Structure 1
Amino acid sequence: MQHTCKLAMAQMRMTDSIEENLQKSLNFCDEAADSDLLFFPEIQLSPFFPQYEKRNADQWCMQESAPELEALQEKAAEHKLYLSPNVYLEQKGKRYDTSLFITPEGQIADRTKMVHIAQARQFYEQDYYTPSDEGFKVFDTPFGKIGIVICYDRHLPESVRTCVLKGADLILIPTANTKAEPLTMFEWEIRVQAMQNQVFIAMCNRVGREGGMDFAGESLVVHPSGDVIVKADDQEQLIRCELNLGEAREWREKVPYLGTRRPEWYL
């Protein structure tokens, strides 16, 4: 197994136009053509509509067969990279905040839906999203196992821990963090979870002002030691780094936190 992964994150500014957001996503695919894996912020093809209570979001919702997703699948196949877009997806009459996992052949291998749904000022997500009916998933790649934890899910430590217990070497977090939020605390949250679970974690955020929210960027990648490998500013950009995912397993052998767990005593 190759362990080195060329990771790319598209820190994006969104508009009210699905077409513009899609074209920007496709352009990032072209820019990341020499990468192994590219992922995006939360609900990348739409404005952040959950900042408003109980609005009609039909125009932002799509089926898995949508032409926009087919265009992203084609880009994955063109550049032979793994792609994980995050979209507002409908399945069997229910709507989910969903990250797809697209293979280098352009096939949707599977999907992860947000498990925990927030309901707070400017994050009225329970008005729009159904909680996942499938739980957390981990995807096999030639360079390691990839888990996905969507935005608010990361605040519940069971999310990252579950992915790691399923074998994840790298956790992707598509998110929507604003400048009004405790960004320093959010960085430490990721660093501590990476260290405690001895896993690489990459978090990709939106940028720009949308309505009453100013998205912060500051996407980052954290090593299993808890050290920050790369951290962006608040500008739109493609972030790249090369990770040896085998180091996650090395750290678990060196400091066996997971091996000393006693789940029979946990609630």
Structure 2
Amino acid sequence: MIRIACAQLHLTKDMEENYHKALLYLHKAKLAGAQLVCFPEGQLSEYTPQYAGLPKENIAIALDHPYIKGFCHACRNEGIIGVFSLTLTWDAQIYSTMMVIDETGCIKAIARKNHIVRAPHFYEQDYFTPGDDGFIVVPTSAGNIGLIVCFDRHYPESFRTLALKGADVAITAVANETTEPLEIFQWELRIPAFQNSFYTVMVNRTGREGVMDFCGQSLVAAPDGTLTALAGVEEELLLANMDYEKSKILRNEKQYLSLRRRDMFEL
């Protein structure tokens, strides 16, 4: 049995404040018995893409930034795996990413968002470069963790790819606001959990930021499509237990993956 913690946070323009809040919630997760803690999209800053065409300076950090070193140190000291969602810059580009740091403080993987949208409140193409990593599964002591960065979850292939690569859980860091179709977004996680017989997790921001109201309602869905845990609309640490043996049993019973005929799919 693996206990996961979802840090549903209200974030501000103050990067230092957000950094220390992340460390606090990482510590709370450890005290609550979690082996794994995850954070919402772009957890170190206000959600910049809500505005079109702002200067790009100071919206991202480099891989050698002290905050990343601090997260590595905290994971090692607490003995917990962290799935962080950071806006990173390297090779003169900016990426929306998810980073896995294991309980020894080592960076195990970085996944970059593959699909970059441009729509009201989500002017991401003004800032981010699309990743070309595909969809990554990271072996850890808390299972094989699949990573999906926010908008990438709208493609069913994202979840199926992770399942075929052996993921035990698919974690997606998001920035969902109250005006979006919240019930549909919930089903968007529950249905692939059922179809792939694995756990799915969505961790969101909450509270007012600029022109956006983030809705919270982070969730963990079980391999049968039911809700294991659902957060409210305020800041909180959502906890859930994941039984990977249950996943294996359902996967054998349902046979959705084992009976899949690759030759029938043209795309």
Return the TM-score normalized by structure 2.
0.96
Tell me if structure 2 keeps the 8 A contact 1:112–1:148: yes
Contact 1:144 1:246 in 2 (8 A): no
Q: 1:21 maps to which residue?
A: 18
Alignment of 1:108 onto 2:131: no
In the TM superposition, what are the counterparts of 1:73-222 in structure 2 within 5 Å?
A: 73-222=72-221
Residue 260 of structure 1 aligns to a residue whose secondary structure is coil
Q: CA deviation at 1:57?
A: 2.9
- In structure 1, C-alpha distance between the alignment counterparts of 2:207 and 2:58, rounded to whole Å: 21
- SS of residue paired to 2:144: strand
Shift of 1:250: 1.6
Report the equivalent of 1:30: 27
**Shift of the alpha carbon at 1:35?**
1.5
1:25 partner amino acid: A
Q: Secondary structure at the match of 2:258?
A: helix
Structure 2 unaligned spans of 5+:
none
The answer to whether residue 9 in structure 2 is matched with residue 12 in structure 1 is yes
SS in 2 for 1:115: coil
Q: 1: distance between equivalents of 2:63 and 2:114?
A: 19
**Counterpart of 1:85 in 2: which secondary structure?**
strand
Q: What CA distance in whole angstroms lies between the structure 1 residues aligned with 2:178 and 2:161?
A: 29
In structure 1, the gaps of 5 or more residues are: none
In 2: Cα distance, 1:169 partner to 1:133 partner: 23
The residue identity in structure 1 corresponding to 2:62 is Q
Quick check: 2:36–2:142 contact (8 Å CA) kept in 1?
no
Percent identity over the alignment is: 37
How far, CA to CA, are the matches of 2:212 and 2:56 in structure 1?
18
Asked if 2 retains the 8 angstrom alpha-carbon contact of 1:77 and 1:105, the reply is yes
Deviation, 1:254, is 0.7
For the 8 Å contact 2:82–2:101, the answer to whether it is kept is: yes
TM-score, with normalisation over the residues of structure 1?
A: 0.96
* Contact 1:49/1:57 (8 A) holds in 2: no
Secondary structure in 1 aligned to 2:58? helix
Worse-superposed segment, 76-85 or 241-250 = 241-250
**CA displacement at 1:69 relative to structure 2:** 1.1
Cα distance, 1:72 vs structure 2: 1.1
> Would you say the 8 A contact 1:169–1:246 is kept in 2?
no
RMSD: 1.0
Structure 2 letter corresponding to 1:102: I
